[in-house]
Structure formats: structure tokens, C-alpha cells
């Protein structure tokens, strides 16, 4: 049963990762900012978001965005325990993302109705996740763990593994990552800089989203 569930989860993640060539990683401090941030990103062409569970209102943010933007795919990020995983399920998250992965999280993810994108940073961590039935991974912290060179190296022994690198990535590195065959998307927080959030400059966030997706289109043309 778990094996069939994980196959379905892999298919769901493939769809999500292809839908979101760039996944904004959001840490939202004020609940009232959630809907305008989500709307600005959606209007800029973003279809997948990750809301990190780093603030007191994070779960409420996911629930609010679930209602306000029903066409967007919502991930719960920085999930550290099965209890948080369960809370993310309850508020309507479409998938869960972890910075690293414990045995308990792998086991909970096997029976969950939503997919887990487990965080890994080394070949050994990847092999552990693979042995548990997982085929899609968050590569974190990407830049600090070897970046593009590391992902190229992992493609040799693990040709079927697919990654969403996150951590330390900005527009300068985006095209390099997206040109890799094992990287359909990249996660990052640069789409919602603190100064834009403090100024409530939602138009600037929409423009950043549009500009970032233009980089993606260029990268894929270059790699094809």
C-alpha cells in the first residue's frame, strides 16, 4: 500500500514541480499580508507556493490562501515533525517540504494523502530517502551544499532522482540551476524581499515574479 501511495505521490510532485518552475518560499509575519502577497505572485504567473511554518500565523496563512486562491498549489515548508505534517494536512496544504528528513517524517509521508518533498544535502541522505521509496527531493541548503556542481555529480549515480534546490539561490544563479535536466524548478525567497513586504509594495512583487519566469523561459530555451 505504501509503495503504491509513494508512486502516486511522485506523480503528483512531478506535476507540481513542472507547474512551478520557481516556487516562492514565503515566511509571512502578518496574516493580513497573506492574500495580497499570494495574489501578487499569482498575477505574476506563479502557480505553486511554499509557506514556511516559521511564524505563529503560518498555518492560518495556508488556510486563508487555500480559500482565496483555489487554483494555486500550496506547500507547507520547514515541517520538522509528523505533528506539523498532520497540521499542514488539516489546513489544506497540497504538499509538505522539509529542510532535512527524519525516519518519523519518512514514515508519516508514506501513509499521508499528500506528498512529501524531503530535504537532503548529501548522497548518503539521498540513498536513505531512496530506500524509503522517495524519488523527488528538496536539495537544501543548495548553494552551501555544492550547488549546481553537486547536482551534476548526483545525476551520475542517481539518474532518476529529481530535485528542487533551495537555499542561497537568487536570480544570478537561477538560469544555471534550471538548465540542469534533474532540476525542473527552484525554490527561493527573493521574490518577496523584506523591503517590499514592509512597504506593502505588491506591484513590485508581481513584477519580480514576471521577471523571474522570463529567466526560466530563457534557461529552458538555452538547455533544449
pLDDT tens string 17-33 = 999 889 999 999 999 99
* Residue 224 confidence (pLDDT): 52
Catalytic entry in 125, 138, 194, 220: 138
pLDDT confidence of residue 218: 65
- Determine contact, residues 35/65, Cβ cutoff 8 Å: yes
Residue 215 has pLDDT above 90, yes or no: no
Q: Over the stretch 104-115, which tens digit does the pLDDT of each residue have?
A: 999 999 999 999
Which listed residue (29, 35, 50, 103) is catalytic?
A: 50
132 noted as active-site residue:
no
User: What CATH topology corresponds to 2-212?
Assistant: TIM Barrel (3.20.20)
Domain parsing of the chain, residue ranges? 2-212
Residue 139 confidence (pLDDT) above 80: yes
Give the C-alpha separation, 120 to 129, whole Å: 8
What local confidence, expressed as pLDDT, does residue 12 receive?
Answer: 97
Write down the pLDDT at residue 51. Answer: 99
Q: What is the mean pLDDT of the chain?
A: 95
Catalytic-residue membership of 29: no
Amino acid at each position: 500500500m505504501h509503495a503504491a501511495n509513494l508512486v502516486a505521490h511522485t506523480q503528483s510532485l512531478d506535476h507540481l514541480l513542472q507547474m512551478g518552475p520557481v516556487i516562492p518560499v514565503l515566511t509571512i509575519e502578518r496574516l493580513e499580508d497573506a492574500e495580497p502577497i499570494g495574489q501578487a505572485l499569482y498575477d505574476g504567473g506563479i502557480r505553486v507556493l511554499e509557506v514556511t511554518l516559521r511564524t505563529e500565523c503560518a498555518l492560518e496563512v495556508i488556510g486563508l490562501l487555500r480559500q482565496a486562491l483555489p487554483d494555486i498549489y500550496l506547500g507547507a515548508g520547514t515541517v520538522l515533525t509528523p505533528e506539523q505534517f498532520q497540521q499542514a494536512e488539516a489546513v489544506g496544504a497540497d504538499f509538505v517540504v522539509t529542510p532535512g528528513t527524519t525516519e518519523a517524517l519518512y514514515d508519516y509521508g508514506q501513509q499521508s494523502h499528500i506528498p512529501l518533498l524531503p530535504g537532503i544535502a548529501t548522497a548518503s541522505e539521498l540513498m536513505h530517502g531512496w530506500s524509503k521509496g522517495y524519488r523527488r527531493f528538496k536539495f537544501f541548503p543548495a548553494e552551501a551544499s555544492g550547488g549546481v556542481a553537486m547536482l551534476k555529480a548526483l545525476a551520475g549515480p542517481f539518474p532518476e532522482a529529481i530535485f528542487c534546490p533551495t537555499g542561497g539561490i537568487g536570480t544570478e544563479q537561477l538560469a544555471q540551476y534550471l538548465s540542469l535536466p534533474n532540476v525542473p524548478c527552484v525554490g527561493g525567497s527573493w521574490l518577496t524581499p523584506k523591503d517590499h513586504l514592509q512597504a506593502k509594495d505588491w506591484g513590485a512583487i508581481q513584477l519580480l515574479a514576471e521577471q523571474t519566469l522570463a529567466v526560466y523561459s530563457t534557461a529552458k530555451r538555452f538547455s533544449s
